[in-house]
Structure 1
């Protein structure tokens, strides 16, 4: 899976003339901007934000920040896609502070509503597989600090600290150059933990990472 596939902000601008858009993309645009889908993804984002910051009493979805498509959606005869994988990034108001909730959406081959999975909140540029790899190292790092109960490790936010090498994306949407630093924030066994993560493109569309 390539890193940083092209994003399509489906809700921000009117679509081009219908004849200029492939039918599958038209259906996906209609699906992703439908009231039912937006309501579901907003509910998931609100749940995620409540987990990230339970001390806050107001978790309000504001807008869709972006959709990042990893595998294009395909439709059968039913209303839901039967294939496709994408990330929906929802901008939340967390007690008045803007924060992102990232939801991985996976279509089901049987045509049932897609599966939705909360991923690392915030502005991280890591794709889902890379997030999973980083999380394993984060858990190991926190365990060294005597926080070994994973049920007490809560992702809170992530942010870009510094881009140390400009990013370059090829014609296929693959990240082939670039390096940057992020901070991933957790509540770990009742204490705030800031974890530094360095990412470097490997030139093959994937990333190497280091957890500080």
Structure 2
């Protein structure tokens, strides 16, 4: 990734599929990617350095990708009711990419045929900024990957861990205010790491590598935040979690 890059988008562009000077332009969600016909095969596994995966790095960092992120951000802003009257340009700043399953590029395809990756980025508009995430899911037929909106924020939990902790977090969040008990309009508004990996006390012993987060839910027009501590399970493997009621609260 190149976090120092910033792309400014003034409005949604108009894109069409076409061939130019022997290059192949491929549309993805209304956006064009351009690749040379003689691309080489490449496979990138979770945790590997993108600097040694030139084709994948170029694909993920292609400027048209930021048009997709921009559209995903607009959709999120609309859902949360953020910046409804903002008419200034949006700045898209990449913060990082996490490979969730191996990305596989055959030598004869313009798109990966395997892989899931999470693109984390910051949107700046009208003096405010928010961090969003978009998942990209490759298709086995080699067509363009499918972008899907993911939870906002900077969580360090992987999708499976988030799924495991979500129900407990929601139960605590709804308990912060009696008026939220019957609320059915619930969205994850933000997930922020509040303590980087550190030593966590569990059963009167220190466990290294634990971290803490605040998860904020938008519930029927109110914001409810719960604190969560994640602790590596040194006996059975994996990661356990605990909800910290003292960190929970409701805001406007």
> TM-score normalised to the size of structure 1?
0.74
Structure having the higher helix fraction is 1
Matches within 5 A, 1:15-26: 23-24=42-43, 25-26=53-54
Query: What is the Cα-based RMSD across aligned positions, in Å?
Result: 2.9
Per-residue CA deviation, residues 149-184 of structure 1 (Å, 9 max, x unaligned), is 44x1122222222247259xxxxxxxx941122111
Partner of 1:49: 77
Q: Which residue of 1 aligns with 2:93?
A: 63
Q: Confirm or deny: 8 A CA contact 2:77 2:83 kept in the other structure.
A: no
Q: Equivalent of 1:28, from 56, 62, 87?
A: 56
Note the residue ranges of structure 2 that are not aligned, 5 or more in a row.
Answer: 6-40, 44-52, 201-206, 245-252
What is the CA distance between 1:132 and its match in structure 2? 2.0
Would you say the 8 A contact 1:32–1:38 is kept in 2? Answer: no
Of 149, 153, 171 in structure 1, the residue corresponding to residue 186 of structure 2 is 153
- Give the unaligned 5+ runs of structure 1: 1-8, 14-21, 168-175
1:33-88 per-position Cα deviation (integer Å, ceiling 9, x unaligned): 22332221331133223323x14234834311000112231123221111011110
Matched, 1:105 2:136: yes
Contact persistence 1:195–1:211 (CA under 8 A):
yes
Following the alignment from structure 1 to structure 2, what is the Cα–Cα distance between the partners of residues 78 and 68?
22
Larger Rg: 2
**In 1: Cα distance, 2:59 partner to 2:138 partner:** 12
1:162 to 168, 172, 195: 195
- Which of these residues, 111, 115, 128, is aligned with residue 80 of structure 1? 111
The answer to which of 59-68 and 193-202 deviates more is 59-68
Q: Name the structure, 1 or 2, with higher relative contact order (CA <8 Å, separation 6+).
A: 1
Task: Tell me what 1:207 maps to.
Answer: 239
| 1:83-111, Cα deviation, whole Å (9 max, x unpaired) | 01111001112542332101122111121
State which of 147, 152, 167 in structure 2 corresponds to 1:136. 167
**2:94 match: secondary structure:** strand
Query: What does the per-residue CA deviation read over 1:99-137, in whole Å, with 9 as the maximum and x for residues that have no partner?
Result: 210112211112122122222211211112222222222
Asked if the contact 1:80/1:113 (under 8 Å) is kept, the reply is yes
Classify 1:190/1:127 alpha carbon distance in 2 versus 1 (closer, same or farther; 3 Å): same
Work out the number of aligned pairs and report it.
187
